[in-house]
Structure formats: C-alpha cells, structure tokens
Amino acid sequence: MHLLLVEDEKSLADIIKRGLEEEGYAVDVAYDGEEGLFMAQNEPSDLIILDIMLPLIDGLAILKRIRKKGIRTPVLLLTARGTVADKVTGLDDGADDYLSKPFSFEELLARIRALLRRDADVKTAVIGVEDLTIDMASHQVHRGGREIQLSAREYALLEYMALNKNKALSRTALSEHLYDHDFDLDSNVIDVFINRIRNKVDRGFQKSLIHTLRGTGYMLKE
C-alpha cells in the first residue's frame, strides 16, 4: 500500500516514515501544506496521513480542496488539537479518522489498517487465486494448505498482485506500491522481489501462478 504523509515536524515525519516502511508500506512525505496538496492531487495513494497545523496551507484547507475535487482517498488527521470541536470539524470536512498527538505508533498502525480495510470495498478479507490464499487481516499466506513465510515487502507486493489478478502490472506500477516517488525505477529490485516470491509461491507446485510478461512486467494469473 502507498501512503502519503503530510507533516511539517521533520523529525516526527522521518520516524513515522521509517516505521511504516518497516511494516511494508511505501511512504511519500510532504513537509508543508503546499507540497502536500500537490502530491494529494497528483500522486495517487491508498491513504493520506495529514497534519492540521501546516505552513503555507493548513491541513483542513487541503482536506476541503481534495474532497471538492472528488478525491475520496481515506484521510487520517494528525494534530496536537484534541478538543471535541476540532475533531468534529475535521470529520465534517471529510476526514475518515482523527489521531491526537502524542500518539503511540501501534495505535497509528491500527488506525491505518482499519481505514484501509474500510476503504477496500472491492476487496475481501481473504483473497483466493487458485489454491493460493492471502488473509489481508493477518497477512498469512497459504498455498495448497502450506503456510508461506514472506517478508513485509514480499507480502505487500504479492497482495497487490492478487488484488489485481489476471492483470498485467508494469514494474513501475509495482515499484510505486512498494517505494516512495524517489525510488530508482531503473533498479532491478522488483525483479529480485518477484523471483523471491516465485520461489516461495510456485516452487514445488505443478502450476505456476506468477508469470513474466516480456516487455511489460508481471501477472498473478489463475
């Protein structure tokens, strides 16, 4: 999943970004409201973590503008403001959830997972591709009844492919769901990850599910 974090406290933003990346999320960061608004409008993400007190454009103004443009990406507000009135204002302006500073990282993760589940109206709790099953709540993967151990990034890549099964996915599309916008698209890291996943998911089974599309990318195919 690809997240956008808009937070002007650079040290806090860097800590959140690093922690989320360790959990397998790709994270872009904007350090002011102007940059955050631009990225929210022009760089698709699965969820926006948005501070209210921002320089140049405040978070509530960003929220109103993206909602006015029809951008329905889930928004989690982060702010030092903790009054009921502030929370009501944020939610009325189109926020999906609200987390007051200071907060625990575990609670942030839980709220992110809840919002992503809520937004997944086309998803199911368990994705099935042939005899491969992916439990999006527990992140457990099985094939033919056998549990498959994946790293956080391997799981994130496989889940994205499963949600887009039978569709051709370019290396660019895959990398954008694993890394931020500064990622070197000329790198072969996606090929490396695909090979690792293929060795775990397809090796020992008669039918291969992960297919290489020469000149295009990859596909998880039934």
Question: Average pLDDT for residues 43-58, to the nearest whole number?
Answer: 92
Q: Same domain, yes or no, for 36 and 89?
A: yes
Distance of CA 35 to the CA centre of its chain: 19
For 123-135, give the secondary structure using H, E and C: CCCEEEECCEEEE
Strand order across the beta sheet in which 140-143 lies: 126-129, 132-135, 140-143, 146-148
Q: Is the pLDDT of residue 44 over 90?
A: no
Q: Using CB atoms within 10 A of its CB, is residue 123 exposed (0-12), middle (13-18) or buried (19+)? A: middle
Terminal CA-to-CA distance of the chain, rounded, Å?
Answer: 23
Expressed as residue numbers, the domain containing 16 is 2-119
We report the CATH number of the domain holding residue 195 as: 1.10.10.10
Phi, psi of 43 (to 5 degrees): -125, 100
Q: Same domain, yes or no, for 17 and 113?
A: yes
* Total-model pTM: 0.59
Distance CA 216, CA 173 (A): 11
Say which residues have a Cβ less than 8 Å from residue 186's Cβ, sequence separation at least 6: none
Give me the sign of the Cα torsion angle 66, 67, 73, 74. Answer: positive
Give me the sign of the Cα torsion angle 16, 149, 113, 38. Answer: positive
Q: Same domain, yes or no, for 28 and 115?
A: yes
Q: Same domain, yes or no, for 108 and 9?
A: yes
- Half-sphere exposure for 38 (CA within 13 Å, toward CB): 7
Tokens of 149: 């151990």
Q: Which residue has the higher pLDDT, 176 or 210?
A: 210
Q: Same domain, yes or no, for 115 and 133?
A: no
The DSSP output letter for 201 is H
Q: Same domain, yes or no, for 110 and 20?
A: yes
Say which residues have a Cβ less than 8 Å from residue 22's Cβ, sequence separation at least 6: 152
**Residues 171-187 pLDDT 10s:** 887 887 776 555 455 56
Phi, psi of 170 (to 5 degrees): -75, 160
- Per-residue model confidence (pLDDT) at position 180: 52
Let me know: does 211 contact 218? Beta carbons within 8 Å.
Answer: yes
Question: Average pLDDT for residues 5-33, to the nearest whole number?
Answer: 94
The DSSP output letter for 100 is E
**C-alpha dihedral over 134, 118, 114, 45, to 10 degrees?**
80
Q: Same domain, yes or no, for 113 and 131?
A: no
Q: Is the pLDDT of residue 122 over 50?
A: no
Domains in the chain, number: 2
Q: Is the pLDDT of residue 120 over 50?
A: yes
Distance CA 163, CA 173 (A): 13
**Residues 124-158 pLDDT 10s:** 578 889 999 998 777 899 999 899 999 888 888 89
Q: Same domain, yes or no, for 95 and 139?
A: no
Q: Same domain, yes or no, for 114 and 133?
A: no
